Structure 1
Amino acid sequence: MTLKELLMKPEFSRLTLINREGDLERTVLTVESTETPDVAAYLPGNSLLLTTGMAFKDRPEEFLKFIQSLNDISCIGLAIKLGRFLDELAPEVIALADKLKFPLLRIPLECTLGEVYHGMLSHIWNNENDNLLNALNIQKKFSTLLLSGAPMKNMLNNLGMLLDKPVVILDLFGEIYEYGYKCGPEDRKLSRETFARMEEVFSGQPDEPYYMDEQCRTDKICIFPIRGISCNTYYLCVLHTEKVPAELSSLMIEEVLLIFGIYFYKNLYLICNKARFKEEFLQILLNRFEKETWTRRQMLTLGERYGFRAGSYYRVIVAQIPVTDQKNFQIGDFTKREERYLLIFQWIEEKLRKKYGNKIMFLPETDRWRYVMIMQEELKDIEKVLKDIYQRIEKGFGILLRFSFGNSTERPEEISRSYMEALEIFQGGSEEKTEGYISYYRPKNIMELLKSVSGNQIQELCLYTLKELAYPKDEMTEELKKTLSTYLDCRCSVSKTAEMMFLHRNTIKYRIKKCEEILNIDFENPNDCFSLQVGLMLSDYRKGV
């Protein structure tokens, strides 16, 4: 209850505000009475103090210190019975109270402190008892809805009717999750705008209720965070209200937020079950069942419920969450990582569904902390959509997703190949980047493949194929090797080789004859020529490493 609401009661209407700037919107939880000047050390927070001011008669400088000390401990105001020890308050005392917005109340001379004290305290206790009873009733009502499996829409309708105000649930990206009673398009728009403004004010999402600046507009809105396992995952918005609604005491709102928090925690398991079914179908697409093979018809039949369809274009995009350890996804024991993974899964899935329908499938790979997108037709604006996803996930979770594209295929049976190509990028394969977080697969060239072969193996193969020409030890052998390489590049043409090397034809013939004697091969055999070309390439590669 605020001090303003307390003073509006008929039995306390005779108390008047002395200083103009006193803030009557402060919440009062209890009333205390004292004449001791050092009482600030013993007062509970949010208390209203009653006094005659006896200890400060003719001592305004001590009264200034007293008011400052009360304000510092969140005392909500001071009610003084003037006319007994103090006739009026000194101007400097009133000025300090105005500066602090600390309420100074005048108790009429005909009222006793005991009468005011007991009357106020009794009223506050009765009000708290009413709030407690209301909170328990709300807990019972919403718990029953939760246990009966009522959707969030029903819960919000009940809350909206209870408050007679529009209510909205926003996700952590500021998008509408659900709305209730009397919540029209303008109300939903206002809730999104206020959430965006809140993020600007706090440079993120606050952990405490947020109230829209009263000077901003006439339509007030309250935003209450709903806590998940590790962070605020959703937000309850109450529109067209002044600060915390009178109908929602702190106990009542705590009960509502607790029930909503349990609802969303329960919802994580529903998301997880959905993800597991989709992941099983992904295993089929990727041919991970060793004892079973699936025909195209079977794939299409099983995948129909997930939006899989027959076509002539399939392309895999893998989205990888960075992980610092190899812990598996805990299905029955959610931690911060599982919650984060499932919320991202739910949000991206819904975004892709709204944007593309069944043009793209979105499947989870939980144990590898990845997501797999399967394009079922070419999407020209997919990079733009991935950029938005990347930015929103970074802002909402502080996670830097990476996306990799495999090549397209025309057959469902080859989706696994596109997946492996996309995955190879994360495992150190070749890639062509467009953005720092988007990569496209390209096949390795022969030199990149050689990186996986040991130096000893390359050296042995070169010596076996080229013999002493593999690693020349004198100038003559070096010239023979150069001539052999050019001769093979010129498709065994003496004339073209002589032209390329600026040498006489007879010189080329002589050198080639020497190579034949050393290598004991026939240059008319294509297989021998290919082996020599590979050997020459490998010997040069080995020399450069």
Structure 2
Amino acid sequence: MLLKDLIQIPVLKDARIAAGAEGLNRSVGTVNMMDAPDIIHFLKPNELLLTTAYAVKDHPETLYSLIEQMAEAGCAGLAIKTKRFLEEIPGCVIEAANRLQFPLLELPLDHSLGEVLNGALSSILQNKTNELSYALDTHHTFFNLILKGEGLSEIVEKLSQLIASPIVILGSKLELISLSSVIKPNIQLLNKWIRQFGGSKNGLEAGLYTISDLLPADGAGFVRLQPIPTPQRPGYILAFMHEEELRTHHALALEQAANVLGFELLKAQAVKDRARRYKIEFFTELVQGEITSEQEIIHRGKQHGLFPADSMLCVVCGRDSDDGFAESEQDHAAVERRARETDQLYHTLSKEFMKLGAPFVLFTLKDKFIALLSAKELLGASPDGKLRMSQQLIGISERLSAREEISLSYGIGSPFNKLVDIPVAYKQAMDAYRLGRSHNKQRFVQYYHTKDFADLLRLIPVDDLQEFIEETFEAWNGIDEGEQREWRKTLRVFYDNHCHIGETAKGLYIHRNTVLYRLNRIEQLTGVQVRNPADSLRIRIALMIKDLVS
């Protein structure tokens, strides 16, 4: 209850506002009556103090420090019954109360302090009862809308009607979810508010926000924000207002609407999660090759947005930070947080893929995001189609990196025409993604191509490759390092020229006898037959691995 409303009750209507009139909007939670010298230690925030000033009658100037202490403590005001122990309020006290905008009331002799105390407390309790009754009625109003089958838009319209203000519902990323249509909000004003306050990464708190740099046509200059409590993605109610002060009933309506909207959004999210789970189950079966009929794929896929196309692409998208993340090694809170991040990224990627201007279907599989896109629109017939698509995907990665510090990479399979070929295209896209990962790349776009021998070697752990090199050249351990380098160079050229001595000599710019000498020395010191098919194959592989590892 506000102090300006409390002083309208019968026992206070004749009280004189001696000072601090600008602070009458202070909230009064309770009333206290005391004349102790150390009274400040017993006062609480939002408390109105009634006193006869008996404790300070001999030193009225001490009221000055009491006023300052009460203002600092957040008290509602001070009401003094003069003409008994204190003839008048000192001028310095009045000056301090005005400066601090702290209400100072002068009580007449008509009512005792006990009567004032009882009347004020009764009024405060009645006001609380009215507020609770209004809150309960408002909650029933909103909840009955849900029971009647009404949805989010109807609740928003009812709230707008109750508080006579435009209403906007925003999601956790400040994306627009709903807005009132009868009392329409100013969209330009909404965008201005988002630009001014939307940069916070820790969410927005309930309260009043003042929009700066208003134009005459903007209208409302204040926004009352009320968070919507939901477990995963909290949203916000925004009420655009022309005045800074918010009526208590309006605040209660916002609170009750937030509770009911939280339930409604949670219900809607549960429906979406169930539909998405069915979608994931279908596409998991599909990419794993468990659905082999084209007709069955078309029949089951159409409810998830999958339709036959002339040419399609499978794109695997993964976070560069996913390397080394294992759910089994994380606590439950970390796994839950990761799941929420995946869910948010799914919605963000959906919006980004929509900007590509091509039909697509997006789903998640473990920690990866799989997109089936139309190759006709994205690649086209021009030879630079792959380059153009790579630039578009890298653009998505750069935008996400700038906004949310998320780095993404992509693997893309070969184009396909039949839906039954999706498992093959998915395997190709995953192979391309893993190939890019094996090169320790970040934010890459890797197209599938048939692997050459070096690509296959990269799929083998480095420790195993190093062990193969050491075993192959174990007999070389006693040889000088300089001579080993000379041997390796000779053998590379020798095998590249199909073991032809003359061509090897030309390639090394040495005499053919020097080539023969080096080959014979290798055979004598290591026991390896350089022309033997098995030995030569092992040496060639070891030399290739050594170049690859280094």
Q: TM-score, normalised by structure 1?
A: 0.78
Letter paired with 1:237: L
Alpha-carbon distance, 1:133 to partner: 1.0
5+ unaligned residues in a row in structure 1: which ranges? 395-399
| Preserved CA contact (<8 Å) 1:80 1:107 | yes
CA deviations over 1:32-77 (Å, ceiling 9, x no partner): 3333343343344322222232322242342123223323432111
1:152 is matched with 152
| Preserved CA contact (<8 Å) 1:330 1:338 | no
1:26 is matched with 26
Given candidates 204, 208, 213, the residue that maps to 1:211 is 208
Map 1:43-122 → 2, pairs under 5 A: 43-110=43-110, 112-122=112-122
Letter paired with 2:536: L
2:189 is matched with 190
Partners in 1 of 2:520 and 2:337 — Cα distance? Answer: 73
Q: 1:358 to 1:88 in 2, by over 3 A?
A: farther
Given candidates 504, 507, 513, the residue that maps to 1:497 is 504
Q: 1:483 to 1:362 in 2, by over 3 A?
A: closer
Partners in 1 of 2:24 and 2:352 — Cα distance? Answer: 50
SS in 2 for 1:245: coil
Partners in 2 of 1:36 and 1:375 — Cα distance? Answer: 79
CA deviations over 1:208-237 (Å, ceiling 9, x no partner): x2212388655221001223337x721111
| Preserved CA contact (<8 Å) 2:359 2:374 | yes
Residue 430 (str. 1) matches residue 439 (str. 2): yes
1:386 is matched with 397
Partners in 1 of 2:343 and 2:508 — Cα distance? Answer: 66
2:374 is matched with 376
Partners in 1 of 2:93 and 2:63 — Cα distance? Answer: 7
Partners in 1 of 2:495 and 2:212 — Cα distance? Answer: 84
5+ unaligned residues in a row in structure 2: which ranges? 215-219, 379-388
| Preserved CA contact (<8 Å) 2:167 2:179 | yes
Letter paired with 2:300: L
SS in 2 for 1:182: coil
SS in 1 for 2:355: helix
Q: 1:513 to 1:215 in 2, by over 3 A?
A: closer
Partners in 2 of 1:476 and 1:55 — Cα distance? Answer: 104
Q: 1:164 to 1:357 in 2, by over 3 A?
A: farther
Q: 1:373 to 1:531 in 2, by over 3 A?
A: farther
Residue 172 (str. 1) matches residue 172 (str. 2): yes
1:415 is matched with 425
2:382 is matched with none
Letter paired with 2:167: V
1:319 is matched with 318
Residue 488 (str. 1) matches residue 488 (str. 2): no
Deviates more, 1:441-450 or 1:46-55: 441-450
Alpha-carbon distance, 1:123 to partner: 2.8
| Preserved CA contact (<8 Å) 2:167 2:185 | no
| Preserved CA contact (<8 Å) 2:499 2:531 | no
2:279 is matched with 278
Q: TM-score, normalised by structure 2?
A: 0.78
Percentage of identical aligned residues:
23
Number of equivalenced pairs: 512
Given candidates 218, 221, 224, the residue that maps to 2:223 is 221
| Preserved CA contact (<8 Å) 1:172 1:234 | yes
Partners in 2 of 1:138 and 1:328 — Cα distance? Answer: 47
SS in 1 for 2:234: strand
Q: 1:122 to 1:361 in 2, by over 3 A?
A: same
SS in 2 for 1:75: coil
Alpha-carbon distance, 1:493 to partner: 4.6
Q: 1:21 to 1:14 in 2, by over 3 A?
A: closer
Partners in 2 of 1:203 and 1:64 — Cα distance? Answer: 44
| Preserved CA contact (<8 Å) 1:498 1:504 | yes
SS in 1 for 2:87: coil
Q: 1:6 to 1:274 in 2, by over 3 A?
A: same
